[in-house]
Amino acid sequence: MEDTSKKFANSIIQIRFGGVGGQGMVLAGRLLGKAAALFDGKEAVCTQTYGPEARGGASRADVVISDSPIDYPFVVEADVLAVFFQEAYTKFRSRLKPGGTLIVDTGLVQPFDDDQEVYGIPATKIADDLGNRLITNVVMLGYLVGKTGVVSRESVEQSIRATVKKHVIDLDLKAFDVGLSLAQKDAAS
């Protein structure tokens, strides 16, 4: 597999997380944005949208990361699209720039045959195996960071410690580490 982290060095990176309410898109975006802005010293903006339903409606989080000030806070063309649900994939696929990186939850998303750079991880199954489906988003975040290198491992770990409730920090750190390790393993093979 190609080392995708080199293509994300020193530029504006647009990342979109897509799924349904309750899958943790907003938290994944906040963790990534906070990691970039507070702990890696980059510029970052995180915006989110979700349907009127608290759970089950369409949800997305956009994160724009740059080494210089950001002029526009929304993803126009995603460099990275991480999707947790088939409808989100179908809805947001057209926003992935040509040559962009698509990351899917393989248990919930079946990409089209003509997609070029597709990486998959059974994030929901991994979260279930770790004992809590609610950490699917952090598993996927770890995989995204491992694939792209858009922020450092340490910055995300600091972001998790500073953001999530104390009683779930260790579980979230473990989920992040599993996702990151799988991405690194994929890159080595």
- For 61-114, the pLDDT digits (tens) are 999 999 999 999 999 999 999 999 999 999 999 999 999 999 999 999 999 888
- Residue 70 is given by DSSP the state -
CB 46 within 8 A of CB 33: yes
The band of 134, judged by pLDDT with boundaries at 50, 70 and 90, is very high
CATH code: domain 4-188 is 3.40.920.10
- The residues near 145 (Cβ < 8 Å, ≥ 6 apart) are 32, 151, 153, 156, 176, 179, 180, 183
